Amino acid sequence: MKEAKADQGFEIHFSRGRMNILKSILEGQIPLSKELAEYVYQCSECGNCTEVCHMSHNDYIILPTSKWIDHVEVWDALRKDLVEAGFAPLEKHSKLIDYMKNEAMRNPYGEEESKKFEWITEFSNVKEQADLVFFGGCTMPLRQVDTLKSMMKILNAANIDIALSKNEWCCGSIAIRIGDQGCVNNLVEHNLEVFKKMGAKTVFSACSGCYRTLKKDYPEIIGEDLPFEVKHITEILTDLLNSNKIPFKEQQEQLKVTYHDPCHLGRHMDLYEVPREVIMKIPGVELIEMKRNRKNAWCCGAGGGVKSQFPDLALDIAKDRIKEAIDTGADILTTSCPFCIGNFIDAYNGMKPELQDKIKVIDIIDFIASKLQ
């Protein structure tokens, strides 16, 4: 975060400074406050600080702190304290929470709940019950529905049926990152009951935030393993590609593609290679890595509530990442997270035409769908 803030950044904008702030809070030297919250929520909770602080630069040296400090969990705990003390959520975050609690919405976008499921009528391969259950989430059906339809076209071409419930609520990821645990518990309990009634054996999501929340946060919140497996869409796609179930066009344009690691998929969940396997199996594609990739990947800037409360900061971070993608000489910048894609596209649209001409931004799902027979 300090790099993104450039000359405006100081101690609290990077890990060492925030750790010192936390120590001072615990020692009673600094009180929780609204002013502190304004700084705390400028962190995207990307987790890069964990990688850097635990890095010894020697494969034979393992730093002891790497065994017991998870920086993102520490930042989450501070946010919970700020919420409980009444200094958070911040103004825009508070609106998101209100929308999620609204019985007519149940999503952070303030849209009517029924709008999330309007796209289903176009596809006959969406069932009410099945072993394979798709969790639609909020961002894709409400803001990127064309990508959702692209996913269904891929599954339809592969003869894959899925189940989806119109009773699903928001996964709760945004509330967890904001620190409003009271909003989360009800969502978790409801969604787990929905999956149970559907007979789910595997639940998958096309959203990195939903995936991390379902796979990591839900078991921690309920204190036990889930009765089903959780997968990301790229894991579903790689299985289909390995089985030759996705019919591609015979003639394909030769393209250089670079992949952005979403923080919730990569550093948070260690899912680095599967998306790359998907890309490398697309005909006519050459995968080129950005300088910062995998554990060292630069954040898109949208996570941790930054996009909603500090949109200019989020865009600055995204522009930096897009420029890094341009430097690779790639034709396409792709990723597999609606938050990343949304912020990248917003940033891309604000860049100079000469930069836009050098690269295109597209979700990996849309990219594959464009290659179908």
Expressed as residue numbers, the domain containing 350 is 248-369
Report the pLDDT averaged over residues 78-97.
Answer: 94
* pLDDT value at residue 140: 96
173 and 252 fall within a common domain: no
| Domain's final residue, options 44, 68, 88 | 88
- Give the end of a domain, one of 69, 88, 107: 88
Same domain, 189 and 265: no
For residue 9, give Cα distances in angstroms to 72, 152, 322, 343: 20, 44, 21, 22
Confidence of residue 9 (pLDDT cuts 50, 70, 90): low
- Mean pLDDT, the chain, as a whole number? 91
* The predicted structure's pLDDT at residue 82: 95
Residues 223 and 330 in one domain: no
Q: Do 227 and 254 fall within a single domain?
A: no
pLDDT at 68: 60
User: Which amino acid is present at 181?
Assistant: Q
223 and 105 fall within a common domain: yes
Q: Are residues 97 and 82 part of one domain?
A: no
Q: How far apart are the C-alpha atoms of 319 and 116, rounded to whole Å?
A: 30
pLDDT at 313 over 60: yes
- Which of 371, 318, 358 has the alpha carbon at shortest distance from 341? 318
According to the model, what pLDDT value does residue 20 have? Answer: 87
Render pLDDT for 134-178 as a digit per residue (tens, 0 to 9): 999 999 999 999 999 999 999 999 999 999 999 999 999 999 999
The mean per-residue pLDDT over the stretch 44-64 comes to 70
186-243 pLDDT tens trace: 999 999 999 999 999 999 999 999 999 999 999 999 999 999 999 999 999 999 999 9
Cα angle, residue 266 at apex, residues 304 and 295 outer, rounded to 5°: 100
Looking up residue 273, the CATH number of its domain turns out to be 3.40.50.1860
Amino acid 251: pLDDT: 77
Residue 274 and residue 201 share a domain: no
Nearest to 327 by CA among 276, 288, 368, 282: 288
The pLDDT value recorded for residue 2 is: 44
Asked which of 239, 259, 287 is the last residue of a domain, the reply is: 239
Among 42, 51, 44, 32, residue whose Cα is nearest residue 10: 42
Judged against a pLDDT cut of 70, whether residue 65 lies above it is answered with no
Higher confidence at residue 72 or residue 287? Answer: 287
Asked whether the predicted pLDDT for residue 54 surpasses 80, the reply is no
pLDDT surpassing 70 at residue 4: no
Mean pLDDT confidence for 238-255: 92
- The reply to whether 227 and 344 lie within a common domain is no
| Strand residues in 95-182 grouped as ranges (E) | 126-127, 132-135, 162-163
What pLDDT score was predicted for residue 250? 84
Clarify whether residues 264 and 186 are in a common domain.
Answer: no
Whether residue 229 sits in one domain with residue 99: yes
Q: Count how many domains the chain has.
A: 3
pLDDT computed for residue 182 by the predictor: 86
Q: In the predicted model, what is the mean pLDDT of residues 273-281?
A: 97
365 and 254 inside one domain? yes
- 302 in the same domain as 192: no
Is residue 59's pLDDT more than 80? no
